[in-house]
Amino acid sequence: MKTARSIRIGTRNSPLALYQSREVQRRLCNLGMPSEIIEITSDGDMDLVTPLYDMGIQGIFTKSLDVALLQNNVDIAVHSTKDIPTKQAQGLTLSAVLERATSLDCLVLPAGTLTIDFTKENIIATSSLRRKLQWSNRYPHHKTENLRGNIQTRLEKLDQSDWHGAIFAQAALNRLEISSHHMIPLDWMLPSPAQGAIGIVCREDDQHALEVCHAINHSNTKMCISVERDFLAALHGGCAVPIAAYAELRNDELFFKGNITSLDAKEKIEIEMKFSLKEVAHAGELAAEAIRKRGAIEIIKTFRPS
């Protein structure tokens, strides 16, 4: 692999995005590969009021970086893989995924609060429709509120509000070493497809960038998140449809869980399946077909009427 050309790393300018880009840069440095980080503001960072599922845009956090890649202003773009659309811009590809951290969501309590009584009529904040509906399905007596912004901004809003908690991706809090608030892991809540994984996108015709990305790719993680993303794509999902998925390799088999929750949060359809490594290439599509047969297609129609 040639190492002469410095790699330009495109990233959003939030603290979490910069952490993820520096993690990629560190791995490139370990390969003896020079690089520089170029910060770019995304559309999703500019509107911090509208819920993500109301924006109606695929790739709200990736669009600006896609443009930078296609205009050859950066060589690779680093994202939270869950933000990368399953149908990418023509000419771009998800070229690498780093080893996945925890995929769990967690409930963060206001600073100084150590417990929560789930039997009371609590107010829980989140910008994610998936989290909102899974929470409301489990706790129908609770109320949910919209919460946008980077991690630090959301924590400040939580502390300044009358909310009893807010839902975050635990990997994000761990990466930023947040210790100021008490966190409760939500092992019952199924995550967004590819949650917890850092993804790298580059141009399909940039052989040098492709080789660099291949050198730092974690193949088992990419296999799992590819199944999750295939499941999402087969159901024509996105941030506007509350589809959840998680795949895990155990003893040369892939274990898969998926679900979708109705808009009124009263119905949740779930599947659990197991695949051999020979079946992995089609596992996402097979899982999507299985959950359709259990009634998911009727729920999806309520979010995207035909």
Active site residue 187: no
Distances in Å between the alpha carbon of 197 and those of 28, 80, 96? 17, 6, 10
Task: Give CA–CA dist 262/283, Å, rounded.
Answer: 24
Cβ contacts of 122 within 8 Å, gap of 6 or more: 116, 139, 142, 143, 164, 165
Task: Give CA–CA dist 60/41, Å, rounded.
Answer: 11
End-to-end CA distance of the chain: 49
Active-site residue (options: 83, 105, 206, 230)? 83
Chain centroid offset of residue 136 CA = 20
Supply 17's token pair. Answer: 């995005």
Catalytic residues: 83
